[in-house]
Copies of this chain bind each other. A is one copy, B any other.
Amino acid sequence: MVQDKLGAERLSAWLEKSTGWAVAAGKLHRDYSFADFKTAFGFMTIAAIAIEKLDHHPEWANVYNKVSVDLTTHDAGGITQKDLELAEILDKAAGKLL
A residues with a Cβ closer than 8 A to B are 37-38, 41, 44-45, 48, 51-52, 57-64
| Residue on B nearest A51 in the bound complex, by CB | B37
Q: Which residues of B contact A44 (CB under 8 A)?
A: 41, 44
Nearest CB on B from A62, distance (A):
6
Q: Which residue of B lies closest to A38 (CB)?
A: B52
Asked whether A62 lies within 8 Å of B64 as measured between CB atoms, the reply is no
- Interface pair B64/A57, CB less than 8 Å apart: yes
Q: What are 24 sample pairs from A and B whose C-beta atoms fall under 8 A apart? A: A37-B48, A37-B51, A37-B52, A37-B57, A38-B48, A38-B52, A41-B44, A41-B45, A41-B48, A41-B52, A44-B44, A45-B45, A57-B63, A57-B64, A58-B62, A58-B63, A59-B61, A59-B62, A59-B63, A60-B61, A60-B62, A60-B63, A61-B61, A61-B62
